[in-house]
Amino acid sequence: MNTQVHIPQDEQMITVKLSIKEAIALSGVRFNQQPSLAVDARKKLRKALEHEMLPESDKIHYHALDM
Closest CA to 41 of 21, 65, 55: 21
Q: For residue 57, what pLDDT is reported?
A: 62
How do residues 3-50 score in pLDDT, each as one tens digit?
776 777 778 888 999 999 999 999 999 999 999 999 999 999 999 888
Hey, where are the domains in the chain?
Answer: 20-56
Torsion of CA 44, 50, 56, 57, to 10 degrees: 170
| Comparison of pLDDT for 62 and 33, the residue scoring more | 33
| pLDDT reading at 1 higher than 80 | no
DSSP label at residue 15? -
